Amino acid sequence: MSTIANNSQKNSNQEMLIQVNNISKIFTSNWGKVQALQNLSFSCNRGEFVTIVGPSGCGKTTLLRIIAGLERQTTGEVLFNGSKVLGPGHDRAVVFQEPRLFPWLTVEQNIAFGIRDSRNKQKVKYLTDKSLDLVGLKDFRQAYPHELSGGMAQRVAIGRALAFEPAALLLDEPFSSLDVSTRARLQGELLELWHKTAKTIILVTHNITEALVLSQKTIIMSPAPGSVKEVLAIDLPYPREQNSPAFQEKKEYIHKNISYKH
């Protein structure tokens, strides 16, 4: 059995970390109202790797931003570690589709940027080194963002998130702008990272194969306004065999169950 499989088994008995309770979100803008989410609920255990899949516009990013505390739900509540989420916090670090690095700072400085005011120098150095190591960029600490490939830049973004020592990593399509082979490599690295750190991970993706390669359960969302159509356990051993009948069966099942129309 692989070490990652051990990790996933170890996670299965742990307590609930994130509880999304019946949330709805209505955006009001100059041109009218949009209901992005409707009565959406799910939960996520500590150490669990969860993916969220669903058609474009079903509210995946909105949901992740609400869990991160970057957006406020209209009704309902999100509990993190038993407390209501009222705003952003270092216990939940977000990685977006694009790396959003500061171009004038080195890799090391980008990773240290968010933590340098709240930690002493020694701790900043320790956390930065640890993050650089986890994302495999020790040799590139002095590089600037324009000197990095897209995959490396996204690894810096993940490293920056890890430097906060968050309990949960919230990833919004972090690999979607990368080519197929870089994407596959980073998926493998993310699994390794999950194994090493036992972080709770929620990853939004359009890509069903990605959800099946990475997660222990996937939340299938219905089209806008988004709600949970199904929570599917992915009880396959890691590393996932993409050609196995069980993998293919789940893939077809999710394809059939994602509705792309209203």
**Position among 8, 45, 61, 73 found at the interface with Mg ion (CB under 5 A):** 61
Contact 53, 221 (CB under 8 A): yes
For ligand ATP, the binding residues (CB under 6 A) are 27, 29, 34, 36, 54, 56-62, 206, 224
83: its two tokens = 């407390």
Residue 29 interacts with, from Mg ion, ligand ATP, none (CB under 5-8 Å by kind): ligand ATP
Taking the complex as a whole, how short is the minimal distance between the CB of residue 223 and ligand ATP, in angstroms?
9
Residue 58 interacts with, from ligand ATP, Mg ion, none (CB under 5-8 Å by kind): ligand ATP
Taking the complex as a whole, how short is the minimal distance between the CB of residue 209 and ligand ATP, in angstroms?
16
Cα gap 147→47, rounded to integer Å: 34
Taking the complex as a whole, how short is the minimal distance between the CB of residue 137 and Mg ion, in angstroms?
26
Residue 150 interacts with, from Mg ion, ligand ATP, none (CB under 5-8 Å by kind): none
Look at residue 125 and give its three-state secondary structure.
helix
Position of minimal CB gap to Mg ion: 61
CA contacts within 13 A on the Cβ side of 96: 7
DSSP lists the bridge partners of residue 37 as: 25, 226
Contact 124, 115 (CB under 8 A): yes
Taking the complex as a whole, how short is the minimal distance between the CB of residue 33 and ligand ATP, in angstroms?
9
Taking the complex as a whole, how short is the minimal distance between the CB of residue 206 and Mg ion, in angstroms?
8
User: Which single residue is written with the structure tokens 């993916």?
Assistant: 51
How many residues bind Mg ion (CB under 5 A)? The answer is: 2
Residue 29 or 120 having the CB closest to ligand ATP: 29
Residue 24 or 62 having the CB closest to Mg ion: 62
Cα gap 262→253, rounded to integer Å: 19
Strands 75-80 and 49-53: unpaired
Using alpha carbons, select from 181, 241, 218, 195 the residue that is nearest to residue 44: 218
228: its two tokens = 């949970």
Residue 61 or 128 having the CB closest to ligand ATP: 61
Taking the complex as a whole, how short is the minimal distance between the CB of residue 135 and ligand ATP, in angstroms?
24
Q: How far is CA 27 from CA 56, 63, 103, in A?
A: 17, 13, 32
Span of 60-68, 100-108, 194-202, 231-239 interacting with Mg ion by CB under 5 A: 60-68
The residues binding Mg ion (CB under 5 A) are 60-61
